[in-house]
């Protein structure tokens, strides 16, 4: 009985602590969304695993898709950011997704390495609800920044935390000159899409933690 009362009391105190920090105003919400974009708003090519390995199937399907991985590598190579590594296959490559047959293998050049941004990120395993920290990098060309917060929903209580749904608009900082190449934009259509969405309304969930409002991944709790 005492342990049950202790748990209830702890829950009440936790809710009171959250309520004391739940400053649901434009300043607090804007700060939270700005922090979210600073952490996860970098615009990159989504090429996070190097070297890039090209399989026979990749080669066969090159002409079917203007944004195929083969075309992407050819464009990046033409820009001097990647180069085909000699020998194609590498027996020392431990990539678990390595194709059975490797036709070509691309690596970053010195110029490409200067654009490569590597940082520690949290990877979530939704089946076991565990996380781990890994180093991940990409070729990045711009950064999303908060333009303005439009509105947010009334806080919703879920167990011992609260969450809200925020509507905001982002702007894009300076775009790297290499990312404006027309051939690159065709091979990487997300570049144009990310720039097009600047100034358009976007949405993000925020969760109230001990540190205040932060991004809330609905699929993890």
Q: For the chain, give the mean pLDDT.
A: 84
36-84 confidence digits (pLDDT tens): 999 999 999 999 888 899 999 999 989 888 899 999 999 999 999 999 9
Residue 168 is given by DSSP the state E
- On the question of pLDDT at 2 being above 60, the answer is no
The dihedral built from the CA positions of residue 80, 85, 88 and 92, taken in this order, carries a sign that is negative
- Does some domain include residue 63? yes
> Does residue 94 lie within any of the structural domains?
yes
- Kind of pairing between the strands at 130-152 and 42-44: antiparallel
Percent of the chain with pLDDT over 70: 83
**pLDDT beyond 50 at 1:** no
Q: Do the domain assignments include residue 221? A: no
Is 16 among the domain residues?
no
| Mean pLDDT, residues 132-151 taken together | 92
The count of structural domains within the chain is: 1
**Dist. CA 7–CA 28, nearest whole Å:** 30
Whether 91 is in a domain gets the answer yes
Classified as helix, coil or strand, 24 is: coil
CA angle 134, 137, 139 (to 5 degrees): 165
8 assigned to some structural domain: no
pLDDT interval class at 219 (50, 70, 90):
low
Please write the tens of the pLDDT for every residue from 114-139.
999 888 777 777 777 788 888 888 99
Cα–Cα distance measured from residue 155 to residue 36, given in angstroms and rounded to the nearest whole number: 18
Residue 200 lies in a domain: yes
pLDDT tens-place string over residues 162-171:
999 999 999 9
pLDDT of residue 101: 78
Residue 146 lies in a domain: yes
Write out the residue range of the structural domain in which residue 167 sits: 22-215
More confident residue, 10 or 180: 180
Query: Which is it for strands 212-215 and 201-209: parallel, antiparallel or unpaired?
Result: antiparallel
């Amino acid at each position: 009985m005492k342990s049950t009362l202790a748990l209830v009391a702890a829950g009440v105190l936790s809710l009171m602590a959250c309520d004391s920090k739940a400053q649901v105003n434009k300043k607090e919400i804007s700060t939270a969304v700005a922090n979210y974009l600073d952490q996860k708003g970098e615009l990159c090519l989504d090429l996070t695993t190097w070297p890039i390995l090209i399989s026979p199937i990749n080669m066969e399907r090159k002409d079917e898709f203007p944004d195929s991985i083969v075309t992407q590598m050819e464009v990046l190579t033409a820009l001097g950011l990647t180069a085909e590594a000699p020998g194609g296959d590498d027996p020392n490559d431990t990539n678990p997704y390595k194709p059975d047959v490797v036709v070509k293998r691309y690596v970053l050049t010195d110029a490409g390495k200067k654009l490569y941004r590597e940082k520690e990120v949290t990877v979530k395993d939704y089946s076991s609800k565990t996380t781990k920290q890994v180093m991940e990098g990409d070729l990045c060309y711009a950064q999303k920044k908060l333009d303005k917060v439009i509105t947010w929903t009334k806080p919703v209580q879920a167990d011992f935390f609260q969450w809200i749904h925020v509507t905001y608009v982002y702007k894009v900082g300076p775009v790297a000159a290499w990312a404006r190449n027309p051939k690159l934009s065709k091979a990487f259509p997300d570049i144009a899409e990310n720039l097009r969405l600047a100034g358009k309304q976007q949405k993000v969930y925020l969760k109230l933690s001990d540190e205040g409002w932060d991004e809330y991944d609905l699929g993890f709790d």
